[in-house]
Structure 1
Amino acid sequence: MLIEKTKKSQKSNEISVATIQAWLKEYGFVSGAILVLGLVVVFSILAFRSNKLAKNNRASAMMADPASWEEIIIHYGSTPTAPFAYLALASQQYHSGNFALAEETYSNFLTRYPNHSLMLIAELGKINSMAAKGSALDALELYDAFLEANPLHFLAPQAVLGKGQLLTAINRLPEAKAVFEDFIASNPESIWMDTLEVSLSVVEQRMRQKPILTEEESETL
């Protein structure tokens, strides 16, 4: 789990929540893919897991009902199913616009299951939630730390997209352009190429239309 750096003051750290959420409404971050991935892993693992414990069997059956995810966490927290309920609930909270709550749920997962095989999904989900709620500067630092620690992980392209889209949202367009161009040049066979190229074209279009902010100017938004 990444160790978060000392928090900046709330005033300097919270970049125009309205600006970022307007961007989310129009373009969206990449956590939807994380949600899909998480749920695929959930049901794949549960389908092949042979568990004779009745308690876990009940919890596993409850996973099919989103309304039961919190109940699984509360009443079946010791079962193998509970970590997947955390991830599913956090993704649902994110896509409902409850970004702070999603961040909290991802954080709870990371605290409770620091060595879980899906820990990096929770880590990136937490960063995306921070970005979406307006903690842009902290989120940018954590995207960098995530990519430095996991450059070859299958989630790395999604972290690149998240970072680039956040830079675009706060109008740091040259940086966003460089993020997308560098990854595209280094990973020409990536399955994310189409999405990356679309994101790059959005940046280039905005650069032709809007004034570009420096990093210092963006911190005052």
Structure 2
Amino acid sequence: MQENNSTVTQQPEVTQPPEVQQSEPEKQMDVFKTYASQAITGLLIVAAIGIALYRYYGSSDSKKQEAAEKLFSAKNTQELELLLNQNSSSSVAPLALLKLAKINFNSGNYDMALTKYNDFKTKYPQHELVDAAEIGKLHCLEARNQTQDALAGFTTFVTVKTNHFLYAEAVLGKARCLDQLGRQKEAATVYEDFIAAYPKSPWTSKIEDLLAALKKKLEDKKTSG
């Protein structure tokens, strides 16, 4: 009987791939996407467009009525660009431009959205929704990882326009940018100040949730550190 001299082939050790470290812009974008997924960026811009558009319904001017209906039903950039070209001198044009900017933003085309918001501010500096274009512009800067610039803009808005209907959205933007920059304690203070000043605001419940999540992040950071 022959002895079996075969040897067992050793399997090579399986090494785990190194953990991929996120760059700072990637970390900031993750924070931005977290907030954006909660549908709190740009809500009031959409509402403002809708309210302004509603004025044209029932208008005695049939062309305005028709343009308003087309603007309301427009779902993509091509339809809005066509509407703008056909109604460039109409009072509906600013709303179409603002909606075009928002659709580009929602599609992740932040460069084009920024261009459209800036176009709005240049063409219609006295329009009642020019501040909505400013907030939209700041959202674009934030999404492009120009967080310091966005923070500066949100801070200015919060400081100067305390009674504006977009004030709460600017507060959220300021806190969000601080969070992205790793300044969570300052972001928490922004939330706390809003809650203390506006306890009955419809935004307070959402901000309380964001504050709780932020405090948990701070606690986790303290524990892991």
Shorter-chain TM band: 0.7 to 0.9
Report the alpha carbon displacement of residue 34 of structure 1 after superposing the two structures with TM: 2.6
Q: Structure 2: which 5+ residue stretches go unaligned? A: 1-22
C-alpha distance in structure 2 between counterparts of 1:50 and 1:206, whole Å:
55
In structure 2, do the counterparts of structure 1 residues 19 and 45 end up closer, same or farther at CA, with 3 Å as the change threshold?
A: farther
TM-score scaled by structure 1? 0.81
Q: Which residue of 2 aligns with 1:158?
A: 169
Please, which of 191, 197, 200 is the counterpart of residue 202 of structure 2?
191
Listed one character per residue, the Cα deviations across residues 75-99 of structure 1 (whole Å, up to 9, x for unaligned) are: 3211111111111111111111112
Q: Per the alignment, in what secondary structure is the counterpart of residue 125 of structure 2? A: coil
Residue 97 of structure 2 is aligned with which of 65, 72, 86? 86
Cα RMSD after superposing both structures: 2.0
- Is 1:150–1:156's contact at 8 Å kept on the other side of the alignment? yes
Q: How many residues align?
A: 195
Deviates more, 1:141-150 or 1:104-113: 141-150
Aligned twin of 2:11: none
Q: Which residue of 2 aligns with 1:7?
A: none
Distance 2:87 2:43 in 1: 27
Structure number with bigger Rg: 2
Deviation at 1:199, TM superposition (A): 1.1
Would the aligned equivalents of 1:17 and 1:133 in 2 still touch at CA under 8 Å? no
Among candidates 122, 136, 148, match of residue 125 of structure 1: 136
The equivalent of 2:61 in structure 1 is 51
Give me the whole-angstrom Cα distance separating, in 2, the residues matched to 1:190 and 1:48: 32
Partner amino acid, structure 1, of 2:139? N
Task: Answer whether contact 2:57 2:65 (CA < 8 A) is retained.
Answer: no
Higher relative contact order (CA 8 A, sep 6+): 1
1:24 corresponds, among 9, 23, 32, to 32
Deviations 1:132-151 (A, max 9, x none): 11111111111111112211
Aligned partner of 2:123 in structure 1 is 112
Q: Show CA shifts across 1:3-45 (max 9, x none).
A: xxxxxxxxxxxx9432232123223173331343134224312
Q: Which runs of 5+ in 1 are unaligned?
A: 1-14, 212-221
Of 135, 143, 148, the residue aligned with 2:159 is 148
Structure 1 letter corresponding to 2:46: V
Q: Is the 8 A contact 1:38 1:87 kept in 2?
A: no
State the one-letter code of the partner of 1:88: K
Q: Secondary structure at the match of 2:164?
A: coil
Q: Distance in 2 between matches of 1:102 and 1:24?
A: 16
Deviation at 1:103, TM superposition (A): 1.3
Counterpart of 2:14 in structure 1 is none
Q: Which residue of 2 aligns with 1:66?
A: 75
**Given residue 68 of structure 2, which amino acid in structure 1 is its aligned partner?**
S
- Give the TM-score taking structure 2 as reference length: 0.79
Query: Corresponding residue for 2:193?
Result: 182
